[in-house]
Structure 1
């Protein structure tokens, strides 16, 4: 009787094992024939059965089926991204079940190298196939001007391979454009870890995110300091360093860096502007004016240089008039003509700079209003009337009262 019961048990176990093998074969058949839904149903049944649920090969086949479903979905929507993420999750589970070994067994199959362009039946449908397919879909969406989905597919590919610089640069760039700054930092962070990668553009992006978007000049400055150890002669990093020192109110250090930078690049308009700004803040108005003028000499179409030069001339005129108004009546009588002429001279000198600024930015009504006020003070009637007409066209009648 015991033998009979044992025999029946063995028959049952054999039948069950045979049944599960049949289910797996059904999944393999659907995988090869393109009936992916039937294949997925079959492999899910095998994954849930105690006889086959512990075999990493079962889950490898499931991941491969999910990858083919991902590939076959040409809609390339967020649902497609979801299919890819399910496949990635299954590959990761398979790899863990296989002992996390890329060199042997099922673990090696999970990471088998994929060669794009080979016939479909020769592709391994490994996790690397999923990466390449996701990259292709990202490019497709990017070419269709769908930055949001292009980013999602690049990001999926990047989760598979943290060392692919092309994927992570594209993902970081798009994330930054889309305002996904934490995501951008993640992808750019992977690039900064690569030993032989040219990281300059990555540093630029990261500094801008930290200083501008996150309002964290301290962290940005620390990153610039690190970047300069790798790229000590880069002019952009030098300018970032100066800009951040200014934000951090480290004026002496900023001035020192500007002097060093100008020694190597004396016609750099941005450096000349910052040098002038620092001197202006320190009360050296003549030195500041000289630097602002140099920036315009270096580039006559430098808007900021023209504007800052004209604005400082008006400030210097204002200081003279305040000084004049503070004098006693007797002193005012003595110096009013001399000081008044000096103030008017600064107004006259400011005209070409503001005029050029308006030429560079013809719709900038703020500069136009300043220039109108300058011409009015100097009694340049024709010029003032022309500006009044232009401002009325842009701002409407009664613009002076608004």
Structure 2
């Protein structure tokens, strides 16, 4: 299977600048340089970016050269959002975010990517020269026809946001001239900005550039993965643990898991089809979700982290907290009811005061039936005392009622 055929099978090609046959020839032809860009709006990329990074890695593995741009200039402006203008972030924050993202990209692409910052070529470009050199080539009616601009006209759009398209278009022109980047790849929400770059290269240099977009990857509710949607899964494990990513993907909806396997993993067509066939025969095994979760965590954080995520998942399912970090336990029990544990108390009082049992009588019934456990260990003694020094990691106490009802006491 050629690179182009593989990308088509995975559903990774949505919009194409020019003819599909031309794109196919380039992708399956001699090595070339391409670029993908992101703005430093945070100090970490998230799972929404990961599909694009996977694309960059696929092209790199096929012998093509990735130039990955972190937009220190465009990030100081902010691309138009569908609803409102982006908040301007400070110079110090921008610089910190760029360095963090560069480190992340370099690791994820195995050091194969050339990392650039458009602030380097924009910082000394005067406004007058930019208008003369670039602005004169792009018609305002052309810009107004772009979907992202049209959607903002009713609520209002600033000149800074409106100019973003020209800046990103110029990035493509600059990288074409200085890095021989003949192709840009991005998510479908960047289509208007991408085609502006293609048009600039044609008008200024009388050259042909290539571009295509990937479909935006959506969760089961139809939202894209991203911090503006409130569902960001960060690639920095200090912000989102490897286990949290694993747990999110292992719970992927059956209707989305095949798509995610194609987009987020480097398994071959035959391997993916085999895993999915097993899932169809025995859906209760969730073999597709388990494979997806392990492969993604392995690629982002390494095999040891992926194996540890599996272990944490198995231990938490069994109610065994031994050897687990507080961070892993909290990640695995996100959403579990919690309460402050401020002083040593009899177990019965803890159960009643925090609505684990409705009354002392019910609490005693639970204890007699061995239905209460603390930190994974059954407790039946009515006189048991719960103390702060019992807390896991000195931070949390885990109470379970029955087989599935968990509660967390947070030591104060």
TM range (shorter): under 0.3
| Greater fraction of residues in helix | 1
Instruction: Give the TM-score normalised by the residue count of structure 1.
Output: 0.25
| Greater fraction of residues in strand | 2
Instruction: Give the TM-score normalised by the residue count of structure 2.
Output: 0.25
- Ranked by relative contact order (alpha carbons within 8 Å, sequence separation 6 or more), the top structure is 2
